[in-house]
């Protein structure tokens, strides 16, 4: 059994940090602060400075395209973003005329597609959706959710995962071998008995294990492909939000978190970004193919 070690990767407190992403061509982690409309980035070397870029709308999800560009999922649509110039180009709009809507979790899939969820800003029950952008086409693939999260993929098993945080449930979708398109109805993968905690963002490793940030429980859980709990790693932040593998050999697990006003926040771990080392079988995120 592995022996993970938890340290702080970036101590700056975010209001709602999300969507950590390792860019393998730049040796850099990117993430967002949804509430502050920020894109943040930092190289893995300790002497690197935190870089922040303000966005004109709510940014919630990111993926990488190549050495120069990211793909951004925001409250107004999907954008191609030039990293060095901090400029962006609209690819397509999503629910941009509905002021009560915003984007939420998102991730690239192994076929080159990009999945992005949307939700009511007040988490109205049943109003959440998940879209997939693939080969210049956008398709709604899941609806009837409340707080859609946890988008991640296991290509070897032809699976896609997502959570509905409000129902404390993780679902699994069967995906087409050639296209990555959902080809069956979703089914329950893991149901939390304690509905006061919320499954949030997660990522899969090379073995198909899910590394899940559990909002309200202050931990990362590792679940096997059969839904068995392998390990729980405690964090100092009560509300971890999402996970991502990275580092030169995908040997690090980065975990974002949210600021919690109910806790004495003179303790700076709430809203920090954590680094977990000692985990094997990590893997890089695939690029989006445009």
Q: Which of 121, 131, 119 is nearest to 93 (CA)?
A: 131
What are 255's strand-pairing partners?
Answer: 243, 274
- pTM for this structure? 0.94
Taking only the tens place, the pLDDT of each residue in 186-236 is 999 999 987 777 899 999 999 999 999 999 999 999 999 999 999 999 999
Pick the CATH number of 5-277 from 1.20.140.10, 1.10.287.610, 3.30.200.20, 2.120.10.30: 2.120.10.30
**pLDDT at position 46:** 65
CA 226, chain centre distance (Å): 21
Position 260 scores a pLDDT of 76
The answer to whether 108 and 92 have CB atoms below 8 angstroms apart is no
pLDDT of 129 reads 97
**Residue 18 neighbours by CB distance under 10 Å:** 26
Kindly give, in sequence order, each residue whose CB lies less than 8 Å from that of residue 228, ignoring residues fewer than 6 positions away: none
pLDDT given for residue 141 in this prediction: 97
Nearest alpha carbon to residue 72 among 36, 108, 122:
108
264: buried, middle or exposed (CB in 10 Å: 19+, 13-18, 0-12)? exposed
Q: What is the pLDDT, as a whole number, of residue 55?
A: 97
Residues of the chain with pLDDT under 70: 1-2, 46, 262-268
Q: What integer pLDDT is reported at residue 264 of this predicted model?
A: 58
pLDDT number for residue 45: 77
């Amino acid at each position: 059994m592995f022996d993970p070690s938890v340290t702080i990767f970036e101590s700056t407190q975010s209001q709602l940090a999300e969507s950590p992403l390792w860019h393998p061509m730049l040796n850099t982690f990117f993430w967002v602060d949804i509430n502050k409309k920020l894109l943040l980035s930092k190289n893995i070397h300790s002497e690197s400075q935190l870089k922040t870029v303000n966005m004109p709308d709510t940014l919630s999800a990111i993926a990488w395209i190549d050495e120069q560009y990211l793909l951004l999922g925001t409250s107004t649509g999907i954008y191609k973003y030039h990293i060095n110039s901090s400029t962006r180009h609209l690819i397509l709009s999503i629910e941009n005329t509905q002021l009560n809507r915003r984007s939420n979790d998102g991730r690239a899939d192994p076929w080159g597609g990009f999945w992005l969820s949307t939700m009511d800003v007040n988490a109205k029950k049943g109003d959440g959706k998940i879209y997939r952008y693939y080969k210049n086409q956008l398709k709604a693939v899941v609806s009837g959710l409340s707080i859609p999260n946890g988008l991640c993929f296991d290509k070897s098993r032809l699976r896609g995962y997502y959570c509905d945080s409000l129902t404390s449930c993780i679902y699994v979708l069967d995906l087409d071998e050639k296209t990555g398109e959902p080809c069956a109805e979703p089914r329950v993968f893991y149901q939390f008995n304690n509905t006061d905690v919320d499954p949030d963002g997660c990522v899969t490793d090379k073995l198909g294990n899910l590394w899940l940030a559990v909002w309200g429980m202050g931990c990362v859980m590792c679940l096997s492909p059969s839904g068995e709990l392998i390990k729980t790693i405690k964090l100092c932040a009560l509300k971890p939000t999402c996970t991502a593998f990275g580092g030169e050999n995908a040997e690090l697990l980065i975990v974002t978190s949210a600021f919690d006003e109910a806790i004495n926040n003179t303790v700076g771990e709430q809203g920090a970004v954590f680094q977990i080392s000692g985990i094997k079988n990590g893997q890089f995120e695939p690029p989006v193919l445009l």
